[in-house]
Structure 1
Amino acid sequence: MQSIIDIKQLSYRYEKDVVLENINLSVEKGAFLAIVGPNGSGKSTLLKLVLGLLKLQKGEIYLFGQEINKFKNWDKIGYVSQKANSFNTGFPATVYEVVASGLTKKLGLLSFFKKEHSEKVLASLDAVGMKKFKDRNIGELSGGQQQRVFIARALVSEPELLILDEPTVGVDAENIKAFYEMLDVLNKNKAITLVMVTHDIGTVSDKVSHVACLNKHLHFHGLTNEFEQMRMEDLSSFYGHDVQMLTHHHEHGGM
């Protein structure tokens, strides 16, 4: 299988604080990886390094087989940050306009928007179940609906890899299951490789193929069913606190 992301002996520090130490991680094409760990464990830092938003200090990152400092094909990667920190929902824009803005980088700010581009916007909205809201103002939507729109915005440039940093921030509990089902369809039907930082491993474990448990070091990386079989005391020692909330067996196919 082709590796989409290869991380080798990666370490990173903020001044004197080591946040990541000797991380080795590989993500294969078609995987759905959940990265879990306590607050301050380096999860978001790891994503920023993979996205080139932070400069490598020690170690190597390869994207689609190419060293990150030589990688130019950023259109292959879509990114959805935590919505609350990244977008002013009072901005007077329709759902269609927000998604269309995802093509700006590829087309240029003043490029003429053609029919094919409009079709891509509508297809992206359709993929996340938001096509019927295309003319609605983004600020009128619920948190979960807004997050679906931001995913559509990331999808419009047709990425092969989609990276999500805690995408259920602002999504109410009753819609989280449907949200993850939508990600499952993107992964399986659209063949998009997904990497997601999440605290909802109990809810999403029947959708993800792999789990990485991070707390400065990479304590576990493997198949989801292997993660589910780990002893609670081992998980608790990785997290530094009790993690009984992570019990997540799905004999009945999920929630």
Structure 2
Amino acid sequence: MKRPIIEINNLSFTYEHQTVLEHIDLIVEEGSFLGLVGPNGSGKTTLLKCVLGLLKSKSGEIRLFGTPINEFKNWHEIGFVSQKANSFNTGFPASVFEVVSSGLTSKLGLFKFLGKEDKEKVYKAIAAVGMSDFSKRNIGELSGGQQQRVFIARALVSDPKLLILDEPTVGVDAKTVQQFYDLLKELNDKLNITLILVTHDIGTITDKVTHVACLNKHLHFHGNSEQFELTKDHELAEFYGHSLQLLTHDHAH
């Protein structure tokens, strides 16, 4: 068994009087690529916020890299790309290089200058997402898909062992989405980065991810992508609480 990167044990979370997560048990192993799926309001973002230490659960336990979350200090080992990355102010006067280098501020401090090694890290992260030709370009001049690659590079620049992406393809066209998923698979395969991707594109991710988790307040399914492929549509409809026409499991793209 590979080393667990995330261990969640009996986690429940309540907003005021509404229970959003109930008795969640989940282990994400090193090198895996987890697709986290579920309907709107199912608790996906809440679960991510608990893992990122942004929300504190009333009951249950989370361990990151074997350490209880309240004792965990190495937050630079976790990269995060939110869905809000898409609503980036395109008039903001910053180059791709500057945006990506801002991912080092947690390590360097806000007003430290980049040394030669740091600059090399920035260029390496930009290259990893295939954006080397755009390093001097203003972020506002890029397409939505290109911007998302830059935000991934910003998350990669601190050498994270875990990368979490919360619906990063909202508002991005279908062709770019496929290229984006190919990029994530490459990061997982070549750099061995553990990935968690929250997505609605269930049918299109099963050939990219290694594992799938279906969340709707409870964790209804967690297994590898082959097991998920064998799950019947009516069973998934039960997980979701409604019928799912989106589940095509179509890999002809």
Same-fold status (TM-score > 0.5): yes
Aligned length: 252
Residue identity opposite 1:56 in structure 2: S
Counterpart position of 2:162: 161
Counterpart position of 1:223: 224
Q: Distance in 1 between matches of 2:246 and 2:176?
A: 20
- Give identity over the alignment, percent: 65
1:175-194 alignment runs, 5 A limit:
175-194=176-195
Contact persistence 1:84–1:170 (CA under 8 A): no
Counterpart position of 1:38: 39
Moved more, 195-204 or 184-193: 195-204
Residue identity opposite 2:150 in structure 1: V
State the shift of 1:89 in Å.
2.7
Q: Distance in 2 between matches of 1:74 and 1:245?
A: 36
Counterpart position of 1:232: 233
Q: Distance in 2 between matches of 1:148 and 1:227?
A: 28
Moved more, 89-98 or 59-68: 89-98
Is 1:244 equivalent to 2:245 in the alignment? yes
In the alignment, structure 2 segments of 5+ residues that lack a partner are none
Counterpart position of 1:63: 64
Taking structure 1 as the reference length, what is the TM-score of the superposition?
A: 0.96
Contact persistence 1:83–1:147 (CA under 8 A): no
State the shift of 1:247 in Å.
2.4
Q: Distance in 2 between matches of 1:161 and 1:90?
A: 30
Moved more, 204-213 or 81-90: 81-90
Contact persistence 2:202–2:246 (CA under 8 A): no
1:1-255 alignment runs, 5 A limit:
1-84=2-85, 87-250=88-251, 254-255=252-253
1:61-96, Cα deviation, whole Å (9 max, x unpaired): 000000000000101100000135763232111111
Provide the alpha-carbon RMSD of the alignment. 1.2
Q: Distance in 2 between matches of 1:142 and 1:20?
A: 36
Contact persistence 1:83–1:169 (CA under 8 A): no
State the shift of 1:131 in Å.
1.2
Residue identity opposite 2:244 in structure 1: V
Contact persistence 2:85–2:148 (CA under 8 A): no
Moved more, 109-118 or 13-22: 109-118
Partner SS for 1:23: strand
Q: Distance in 2 between matches of 1:29 and 1:119?
A: 26
Contact persistence 2:11–2:25 (CA under 8 A): yes
Taking structure 2 as the reference length, what is the TM-score of the superposition?
A: 0.97
In the alignment, structure 1 segments of 5+ residues that lack a partner are none
Moved more, 75-84 or 31-40: 75-84
State the shift of 1:249 in Å.
4.4
Partner SS for 2:105: helix
1:110-163, Cα deviation, whole Å (9 max, x unpaired): 212111111111100110011111111111111111111000000000000000
1:170-208, Cα deviation, whole Å (9 max, x unpaired): 321111111111001100100100011001121121010
